[in-house]
A = this chain, B = another copy of it.
Amino acid sequence: MPKKIFFTPGPSALYFTVEEHLKQAMRDQVMEINHRSAQAEGYFETAVGNLKALMNIPEEYSIFFLSSATEVWERQLQNLVNTNSFHYCFGAFSNRFYDFAKANKLNAVQQTAPFGELPDTNPDLIPENIELIGITLNETSTGVSFPLEDIYKIREARPNALIAVDGVSAFPVSELDFSKVDSAYFSVQKCFGLPAGLGVWVVSPRAVQAAEAKKNQGVIGTYQALPNLVKNAKKHQTTFTANVLGIYLLSKVSQDMLEKGIDVIRRESGYKAALLNHMVDAHPSLEHFVAERSLRSKTVTVANTKGDSQAIIDTLAKKGFVLGNGYGKFKGKQIRIASFPTHSKEQMELLVDVLNASI
């Protein structure tokens, strides 16, 4: 049976080089080496260097490997917030980070919008005493992206707050200026096209200082406390026996992306998103969930369907194309289509043709 092509918004299609890297990993016994060996430290160091080069992350920022972006939500709150956090809530994932803050009994303030829309980003709405502002760059559940210029305005208006950016399904396609944020994170099974089981956390020196200050007053966790993450990362090590294979594959795929060129990847993303948006505009059975054109994500396109979306998904699956369903209460009412760096222009053109011909 020919392989399916996954257009699901994560886990999604593997980056097209992953299978070869995995075979090489078996030959090199990557899965058997000690996680504190020079060999494993090499993978860590290469992955960090490549990510910094790929996304132009300031040299003085630290990069850590955790188990998932979900874990980073928790670690941010533990390490960086004593009392007051602020959250833009406009989808399942931004809401969940807010829920984590409430579960930690923090004074969590939210600015909300209905699914498919963006909250009011006027910085004057953010209370003065906020320690951390949580911003989701790309709401994977709705396909709404948060404008970068609005992040920079918030930074100017609230220079003392730490800005924490959820880059899941956005990095490395998003051109975020990392020097204007303090915490940014993603999981590798979206745009990087890797097997699930690894989260990446980028942290500014200012955020590390905030964690050290908080430590003097209370508890900031154990092995994932920021000072411990920093201590280990200086040795190119994780704080626990991490997914060494995942870090190895990330070091390889980030290298492949550097060789392709981030500008090419971003240009292609623009083309593929335009193709999908045009298809939805023109399709009689689909309509855009995100009404405001400028807010539509370049990597996750969400469309309302006439009739049950499951029927569309099933039809496409029979032809070897796996689409995402609507998230949560939109299940059965929407399709979600990922256009990640591994999805070629040709694959996307083919998908559009098949969608036009099938439904």
- Residues on A close to B: CB < 8 A? 3-4, 6, 8, 10-14, 18-19, 22, 26, 29, 31-35, 66-71, 73-74, 99-100, 103-105, 187, 189, 195-198, 219, 221-225, 239-246, 322
Q: How many copies of this chain does the complex contain?
A: 2
With A and B bound together, what is the CA distance between A350 and B70 in angstroms? Answer: 46
With A and B bound together, what is the CA distance between A22 and B27 in angstroms? Answer: 13
Minimum CB distance partner of A104 in chain B: B219
| Cβ distance A64 to chain B, nearest Cβ, rounded Å | 13
With A and B bound together, what is the CA distance between A245 and B10 in angstroms? Answer: 14
Contacts of A10 in B (CB 8 A): 241
Q: What are the nearest 7 A-B pairs in CB distance?
A: A197-B243, A67-B67, A70-B240, A31-B195, A100-B222, A6-B32, A68-B240
With A and B bound together, what is the CA distance between A225 and B105 in angstroms? Answer: 14
Q: Is the CB of B100 within 8 A of A223?
A: yes
| Cβ distance A237 to chain B, nearest Cβ, rounded Å | 13
With A and B bound together, what is the CA distance between A99 and B18 in angstroms? Answer: 39
With A and B bound together, what is the CA distance between A12 and B246 in angstroms? Answer: 17
With A and B bound together, what is the CA distance between A73 and B240 in angstroms? Answer: 11
User: Which among B105, B240, B243 is the interface contact of A71 at CB below 8 angstroms?
Assistant: B240
Give me 30 A-to-B residue pairs in the complex whose CB atoms sit less than 8 angstroms apart, sorted by A's number.
Answer: A4-B32, A6-B32, A8-B34, A10-B241, A11-B32, A11-B244, A12-B32, A13-B32, A14-B31, A14-B32, A22-B22, A31-B195, A32-B322, A67-B71, A67-B242, A68-B240, A68-B241, A73-B222, A74-B221, A74-B224, A100-B222, A103-B221, A104-B219, A187-B241, A189-B241, A196-B242, A196-B245, A197-B241, A197-B244, A243-B246
